[in-house]
Amino acid sequence: MPAHRQDTTADDEFAFFNVTYVDGSQRSNRRVPSELLGGLDGDEPAKQAIADQDREIAEKSGKPPIEIASVERVGAKKK
C-alpha cells in the first residue's frame, strides 16, 4: 500500500471571519492566515489583517476603504 501524503486544507491555513462595517454593510467569510491568530491577542489581529486587505482593494478600485466596526470568527460561539 503506498504512503499517503497528508494534505493541509484551507481550514488549517486560514480562519474565516464575518465583518461588519460602520456604515452597516457586512461581508462574510473573509480569509485571514491562521498564523496571525492565537496567542495573547486571540483573534484581534484579524481586524488589522482585514483592514489591510480592504485598503489594497480600495486602492485598486479608487474608492476609500470603509472603517471596520467588528469582526467575528465564522462558527464561533456567541458569548
Rounded to two decimals, the pTM is 0.76
Q: What is the pLDDT of residue 61?
A: 94
CB distance 65 to 58 below 8 Å: yes
**DSSP assignments along 11-39, one per residue:** HHHEEEEEEEETTS-EEEEEEEEGGGSBG
Q: What is the pLDDT of residue 73?
A: 92
Query: Which DSSP letter does residue 74 get?
Result: T
Contacts of 58 (CB under 8 A, 6+ apart): 64, 65
Q: What is the pLDDT of residue 32?
A: 94
Q: What is the pLDDT of residue 66?
A: 94
The whole-chain average pLDDT of the chain stands at 85
Write out pLDDT tens, residues 11-47. 579 999 999 999 999 999 999 999 888 877 778 889 9
